[in-house]
Structure 1
Amino acid sequence: MAKSTSLLLLLSLLFFTTTAMAAATTKRSADTTFIKTSCKSTTYPALCVQSLSTYASTIQKSPRQLALTALSVSLTRAQSTKSYVTKLKKFKNLKHREVEAIADCLEEMGDTVDRLSKSVQELKHMGQAKGQDFLWHMSNVETWVSAALTDENTCVDGFAGKALNGKIKDSIKAQVVNVAQVTSNALALINKFAATH
């Protein structure tokens, strides 16, 4: 009798666990579908999906949370790139022109981090703003993110020309271009969110 009760209890537990896992998988799939659909409006949709899918359970189906998460991803990558460029600045045997380009890029990345930080804070604290108040907050975010994107492009432009060709240019460019692409995607998702209000 005790064995059959234990077996029944074990089977019931297994059934409920399996059902709960299936429900969670279905919900995650729906959340990921929302991200995939939203990312179609960005310039780099594959990167958009790749960089945001791991946050599907946080984003769920919220356009605001999607925009905020995209901004946060962009900020994290910008901070990482700024640290990377800072380390490169300490390399020995850099050409004079490389030193200048790295210094300029570091300044641009610092501005990018500041603008993206302000954008994240603005979007977080706007709450349930409506009407003109909503438009004012969104205008701030759109302006700052656009300026951050310009900063990133200016950094890359600083390495133009054959004189700077080499590993330093290639490594910085790869990092900054990635930041610019996720920032571009974030701006597209912010614009999409703004258009829904």
Structure 2
Amino acid sequence: MARSTLLPSLLLLLPILYIAGTAESSVATPSAATNFIKASCSTTRYPALCVQSLSVYASAIQQSPRQLAQTALSVSLARAQTTKTFVSKVTKFKGLKKREIEAVKDCLEEMGDTVDRLSKSVKELNNIGKSKGQDFLWHMSNVETWVSAALTDENTCVDGFAGRALDGKVKAAIRARVVNVAQVTSNALALVNKFAEKH
């Protein structure tokens, strides 16, 4: 008796299990866009972070080196803006040491410059359009210069917290965020350079 009531239940479950299984396998098999991102990221300094931060945009990137560079810059800009906001909040913390206040304020200035330079880079890459030859090289040179400068700003912020005197939660929290921004910026620069080489 128990067996006859069990069978219809099992038959109902089979299509659900099949759908769940196929959905899982379609997610597990990487698309051409994801493979393109992985291959491109393998040439960057932080490949795992590169794949993790860009693969969510695979459908927009497809297999376009330009779209990949554009997306990498946009991700870097978004993280820089978030970090700048965080550093700005830290300046209002009570009980900071004098040297901490100076380091945080300097870092805020550096992150402001980073956001500015990355914003310009995103716009410049957007404006390239169908530029060719010297015109294209001029635009790309601007992008590369600004992204390199942004990377320098980020590293300068981290350097401002050098020395044991500044060790503590403030340094650790800011450093973790800024290092992450610097790493995605480094990856973005590598992908921008790669895109420039292909023209």
* TM-score interval for Structure 1 and Structure 2 normalised by the shorter chain: 0.7 to 0.9
Q: Distance in 2 between matches of 1:38 and 1:106?
A: 32
Report what 1:190 is aligned to. 192
1:168 aligns with 2:170: yes
The structure 1 residue matched to 2:139, chosen from 125, 137, 140, is: 137
Q: Distance in 2 between matches of 1:100 and 1:140?
A: 31
What displacement does 1:27 show?
9.8
Q: Distance in 2 between matches of 1:99 and 1:179?
A: 21
What displacement does 1:73 show?
0.1
Q: 1:193 to 1:27 in 2, by over 3 A?
A: farther
Structure 1 segment 63-102 matched on structure 2, within 5 A: 63-102=65-104
Structure 1 segment 26-175 matched on structure 2, within 5 A: 29-175=31-177
What displacement does 1:40 show?
0.6
Identity %: 75
Structure 1 alignment gaps of length 5 or more: 1-20
Q: TM-score under structure 1 normalisation?
A: 0.87
Q: Are the aligned partners of 1:28 and 1:56 in contact in 2 as well (CA < 8 Å)?
A: no
Q: Are the aligned partners of 1:28 and 1:57 in contact in 2 as well (CA < 8 Å)?
A: no
What displacement does 1:25 show?
6.5
What displacement does 1:125 show?
1.1
Q: Distance in 1 between matches of 2:41 and 2:163?
A: 34
Q: Are the aligned partners of 1:142 and 1:191 in contact in 2 as well (CA < 8 Å)?
A: yes
- List, as ranges, runs of 4+ consecutive aligned residues in structure 1 with deviation greater than 3 Å: 24-28
Q: Are the aligned partners of 1:112 and 1:151 in contact in 2 as well (CA < 8 Å)?
A: yes
* Residue type at the aligned position of 2:134: Q
Q: Are the aligned partners of 1:105 and 1:158 in contact in 2 as well (CA < 8 Å)?
A: yes
Q: 1:27 to 1:61 in 2, by over 3 A?
A: farther
What displacement does 1:67 show?
0.1
What displacement does 1:28 show?
6.2
What displacement does 1:130 show?
0.5
Structure 2 alignment gaps of length 5 or more: 1-22
Q: 1:90 to 1:143 in 2, by over 3 A?
A: same
What displacement does 1:128 show?
1.1
Cα RMSD after superposing both structures: 1.8
Q: Distance in 1 between matches of 2:161 and 2:61?
A: 37
